[in-house]
Structure 1
Amino acid sequence: MTENNAGYNGPLPPRPQNPPTQRAAEERAEEERQAAEHAAAGSPTESTPADRPAEGAPADLPAEGAPADTTDASDGVHAQQRGTPEQHETQAYPTAHATPAEQQSYGASFGYDAYAQPETPVYKRREKKRVGAGTFVTGMLVAGLLGGSVVAGTDALLDTGNGVGNTGTAQPQSVVVNDTGSVNEITGAAAKASPSVVTISVSGGQSGGSGSGIILDAEGHILTNTHVVTLGGQVADPAVEVRTNDGRVFQAEVVGTDPLSDLAVIKIDAPDLQPATLADSSELNVGDVAIAIGAPLGLSGTVTDGIISTLNRTISVQSSAVPEQQADEPEQAPGDGFNFLPPDGSEAPQQGTQGSIYLNVIQTDAAINQGNSGGALVDSQGQIIGVNVAIASAGSGESAGNIGVGFSIPINYAQRVAEEIIASGEATHGFLGVSVGPAASGNAEGASTFSVGAEVQSVEPDSPAQVAGLQEGDVITKVGELGIEDPQALTAAVRMLAEGESTQVELLRGSEALTLNVTVGRSPA
């Protein structure tokens, strides 16, 4: 910030904490006595005015006896700045040799008494900050995100000449710890988990993008998102490359994808891999520390932190990898809710070519941006609690970015899906066999925008729901440990179950509360 003051172009003085010392008072008295002697002797006062250092003295040195100003002029920042913009424009600042009357006026104008001002304030002309190359490139990447699609933006700025977004220009960075005596829990957790998080580059045809992944085992299996390895459904046979946290680069093969959970497993053939430590996501609390690790905008090894904002949030994410019509899929009003965008750096598919998937997720305010997809959400112990999958954005497409509302797939669910993909190349999901709609509260008058459960509208013959005894008109309020507030929550909860898994379903039948045991089938989608 540049001050606009007549005769002075420096920062305001720091607000002093103590009144002038006796020594300072004596020095001012001595200065006044010397000035009187010069005047009596007829010395020309024009040669050494009170607001200018003596001839031959450096202009920026403090007056004798004044405390030295240790502020680095290059940082352009003084301790604090006082006063309103109007005062900045009109207030003349006192010099190092201002009279007591001038100091009294200056002190009062800035809200503290005359005794509390600096003994002999010393001002140094502020220098402009220099911007390093790293800062400049980062600024360009952000500008690319705001000015066009992420892939096009980064490719235009960091062109490799092959038409594919160069997502690997930033050098890999391990967590840097310069002061081992002052390491907080975020640093410790990031240092533990970061070697297990990789950056993924995907290309196919004329498309390219990047994301993140989590090393599952020493055999090289890596967990990520389906929308990362398929570029949001644009590529069926992608070329996948992985860069580990220590900078090694390997070609990867796709083991399998699971569009209904938006999870995928890839594999690299590499020695000395560090598998991630997985937490138990069923033990999480709202308010727990949440740390996102990944490669937003291709910037590998980026660490951001926040808290768990809520648990068991249901979101819908549009995906061209699933059919437009699916079994157990609820009706959804167009335009409802936020625009949930997969942060992978790829273009969103056209509205007419995609279906929706319903996910039960962890919500966090840790910054998640495009490129964080498939990366880790970590607890304070450095254990993986979730796989970052989506963000809620106030914008869409090229203007999408972090607003403090990010989503992560709980690791318990992700681990089950990953194990099935590794074992058979695909994962299974539960199927109930009902059509449901929102259930209005009994206290609602007329139409209500709030739902208090999923009301059964029809039951398919010979389905798991019919076998368990569900009936039309039942209002499902809980599946296992998950509360059900609307049809989307029911779909997400049932699909989290594996084929053949049993659970309890709580419901209201009229005024009667019932609990039924259900063994789910396999979702055909």
Structure 2
Amino acid sequence: MKAGWTSLGQEASPVQRPGADPWAGGAWQYSDETSRPAPAAGPAAATRPLVTGNGTGAPRVAVSDGTTRFLATGPDGTPSAVAAAGVGVAGVTALAPDGTGYRKPPKKRRGLAALGILVLALAAGGAGGVVAEAIDDDDQGSGGSVTVIGADPAGLVERPPESIAGVAASVLPSVVSVSVADAGGSGFVISEDGYVITNNHVIATAGDAGIELAFFDGRRLDAELVGTSPSYDIAVLRVEADDLQPVVFGDSGSVAVGDPVVAIGSPLGLDATVTAGIVSALERPVTAGGEDDQSYINALQTDAAINPGNSGGPLVDSSGRVIGVNSAIASLGMGQQAGSIGLGFAIPIEQVQRTAQQLIADGEALYPVMGVLLDNAFVGTGARVADDGDNGPGVTPGGPADEVGIESGDVVVEIDGEQVRTPAELIVRLRAHEPGDDITVVIDRDGEELEFTLTLGSAVG
């Protein structure tokens, strides 16, 4: 039986079937004359007698206004469930719950009354059908009726692909949970033959304990480390499988502030968690990691909830395309790791793709350098080139900066028209490029601004 409202019995409208039995509880009859009793029902018009008082058959009720009312009866001659509920149909006045009747409209307004009766009969058709089926079941000696709970699954509406539910459904099969000895995080499949991307800091402590990936379909597979890039906080893993569903890459360069995004991963070990938000800012300089493996990210900022364990998972756009790798969060924790405060950061997917391709091809990745050592103690605006010291020369001999004439003590204030305010910001701006790119650098040398064009070198890491 399909759930929902439907008529299971006979036609309820006496207009469509004059003289028929509209409620499966006996024929209906009334008299237009209020000064005398209604004539007896003929064989063709009724199947049960109409009597007054408490006799068997359809009760007739006379009230003080002179009208006469008749009630429908069931198979045993008692008023049917419909009449007891106070439901009226064509030509009949039914009882209200308190036992009083409803008055038949005066004859002079019979046209309007007929229309109202027809509408009421149609509206009440479902109830009449239920009564009819119950009577039929009793006649057949069945043991009772069956109640169907819930809706027909075929009637469920599928979510639009661009909705959050649609995006989650398309991306979740590609997202994995990453487990190592004393840490965990997230990752996502980038090829059918088993390559997976995550953050370097997620697997940095793996050691000999190994790395295990848990997939959306329930499989748990050991992963091999292909290569890492601490500079970009990217790692590539591989599992022995050839039936995986890879993600679709998007274009982080075309993302605008305010675009909707979805973050997917395993925050606090809760795998397959989906959160949503918007892109809050672009090209946000972010430094992550420890002193030995610090990462400098020209990040996408989002207010989608990102917590410990989301690291390495995908940030996707409204079409389900990956535009970044969730990597860091801002925190108000005082010496303790805190949760999301609405400030999360993702590595742009273009950078991730370049680094991953290098790691897959060569096992190592390159990042661009200009050949200077920066003075982290500098408190002014810009990034000051350090003096020669124990850590090495401020300007690498023969490097890109040395070749164009940049000196120790110069303060870099601009790259390619973008202001540089801190040393970290300079590094982030540089690492948004590739080795071999030409950049324009503006430096402040003793109050004088000088402009240089140099070709970026490369380093491994």
For normalisation by structure 2, the TM-score amounts to 0.59
Instruction: Kindly provide the CA deviation profile for residues 319-361 of structure 1, in whole angstroms up to 9, marking residues without a partner as x.
Output: 26x2xxxxxxxxxxxxxxxxxxxxxxxxxxxxxxxx6332221
| Aligned partner of residue 355 in structure 2, secondary structure | helix
**Equivalent of 1:456, from 377, 385, 392?**
385
- 1:69-148 matched pairs, under 5 angstroms: none
User: Does residue 202 in structure 1 map to residue 180 in structure 2?
Assistant: yes
1:502 matched residue in structure 2 = 437
2:412 matched residue in structure 1 = 476
1:467 matched residue in structure 2 = 403
The 8 Å contact of residues 265 and 422 in structure 1, kept in 2 or not, is answered as yes
Unaligned runs of 5+ in 1: 1-176, 323-354, 441-448
Q: Distance in 1 between matches of 2:165 and 2:246?
A: 19
The 8 Å contact of residues 474 and 507 in structure 1, kept in 2 or not, is answered as no
1:293 matched residue in structure 2 = 264
Task: Report the CA distance between 1:178 and its aligned residue.
Answer: 6.0
Q: Distance in 2 between matches of 1:288 and 1:368?
A: 17
2:195 matched residue in structure 1 = 221
The 8 Å contact of residues 300 and 345 in structure 2, kept in 1 or not, is answered as yes
The 8 Å contact of residues 495 and 523 in structure 1, kept in 2 or not, is answered as no
2:251 matched residue in structure 1 = 280
The 8 Å contact of residues 480 and 503 in structure 1, kept in 2 or not, is answered as no
Q: Distance in 2 between matches of 1:223 and 1:435?
A: 31
The 8 Å contact of residues 328 and 344 in structure 2, kept in 1 or not, is answered as yes
1:317 matched residue in structure 2 = 288
The 8 Å contact of residues 280 and 303 in structure 2, kept in 1 or not, is answered as yes
Amino acid at match of 1:295: S
Instruction: Kindly provide the CA deviation profile for residues 433-460 of structure 1, in whole angstroms up to 9, marking residues without a partner as x.
Output: 22345899xxxxxxxx7x5432434433
The 8 Å contact of residues 367 and 402 in structure 1, kept in 2 or not, is answered as yes
Specify which structure has the bigger relative contact order, considering alpha-carbon pairs within 8 angstroms and separated by 6 or more residues.
1
Instruction: Kindly provide the CA deviation profile for residues 200-234 of structure 1, in whole angstroms up to 9, marking residues without a partner as x.
Output: 1112xxxx33211111111211010111112xxx3
The 8 Å contact of residues 430 and 495 in structure 1, kept in 2 or not, is answered as yes
2:456 matched residue in structure 1 = 520
The alpha-carbon distance between structure 1 residues 390 and 178, as it changes in their structure 2 partners (threshold 3 A), is: farther
The alpha-carbon distance between structure 1 residues 253 and 182, as it changes in their structure 2 partners (threshold 3 A), is: closer
Task: Report the CA distance between 1:521 and its aligned residue.
Answer: 2.1
Q: Distance in 2 between matches of 1:383 and 1:513?
A: 43
Q: Distance in 2 between matches of 1:244 and 1:209?
A: 17
The 8 Å contact of residues 476 and 508 in structure 1, kept in 2 or not, is answered as yes
**Equivalent of 2:303, from 365, 369, 385?**
365
For normalisation by structure 1, the TM-score amounts to 0.52
The alpha-carbon distance between structure 1 residues 289 and 258, as it changes in their structure 2 partners (threshold 3 A), is: same
User: Does residue 418 in structure 1 map to residue 356 in structure 2?
Assistant: yes
1:492 matched residue in structure 2 = 428
2:229 matched residue in structure 1 = 258
Q: CA RMSD in A?
A: 2.9
The alpha-carbon distance between structure 1 residues 471 and 196, as it changes in their structure 2 partners (threshold 3 A), is: same
- 1:140-179 matched pairs, under 5 angstroms: 179=157
Q: Distance in 2 between matches of 1:431 and 1:515?
A: 18
Amino acid at match of 2:425: A
Q: Distance in 2 between matches of 1:357 and 1:236?
A: 20
Amino acid at match of 1:194: L
Unaligned runs of 5+ in 2: 1-154, 387-393
| Aligned partner of residue 297 in structure 1, secondary structure | helix
Q: Distance in 2 between matches of 1:181 and 1:415?
A: 30
Instruction: Kindly provide the CA deviation profile for residues 139-170 of structure 1, in whole angstroms up to 9, marking residues without a partner as x.
Output: xxxxxxxxxxxxxxxxxxxxxxxxxxxxxxxx
Q: Distance in 1 between matches of 2:264 and 2:408?
A: 46
The alpha-carbon distance between structure 1 residues 198 and 524, as it changes in their structure 2 partners (threshold 3 A), is: closer
2:7 matched residue in structure 1 = none
1:152 matched residue in structure 2 = none
Amino acid at match of 2:212: E
Q: Distance in 2 between matches of 1:318 and 1:310?
A: 21
Task: Report the CA distance between 1:423 and its aligned residue.
Answer: 0.6
The alpha-carbon distance between structure 1 residues 481 and 239, as it changes in their structure 2 partners (threshold 3 A), is: farther
The 8 Å contact of residues 279 and 300 in structure 2, kept in 1 or not, is answered as yes
The 8 Å contact of residues 414 and 443 in structure 2, kept in 1 or not, is answered as no
2:345 matched residue in structure 1 = 407
Q: Distance in 2 between matches of 1:382 and 1:504?
A: 34
User: Does residue 236 in structure 1 map to residue 172 in structure 2?
Assistant: no
Instruction: Kindly provide the CA deviation profile for residues 369-396 of structure 1, in whole angstroms up to 9, marking residues without a partner as x.
Output: 1110100011111111111111111115
Amino acid at match of 1:223: I
The 8 Å contact of residues 312 and 482 in structure 1, kept in 2 or not, is answered as no
The 8 Å contact of residues 162 and 318 in structure 2, kept in 1 or not, is answered as no
Amino acid at match of 1:453: G
The alpha-carbon distance between structure 1 residues 240 and 364, as it changes in their structure 2 partners (threshold 3 A), is: same
The 8 Å contact of residues 390 and 407 in structure 1, kept in 2 or not, is answered as yes
Task: Report the CA distance between 1:236 and its aligned residue.
Answer: 2.5
Alignment coverage as a number of residue pairs: 301
Q: Distance in 1 between matches of 2:343 and 2:325?
A: 15
1:270 matched residue in structure 2 = 241
The 8 Å contact of residues 439 and 452 in structure 1, kept in 2 or not, is answered as no
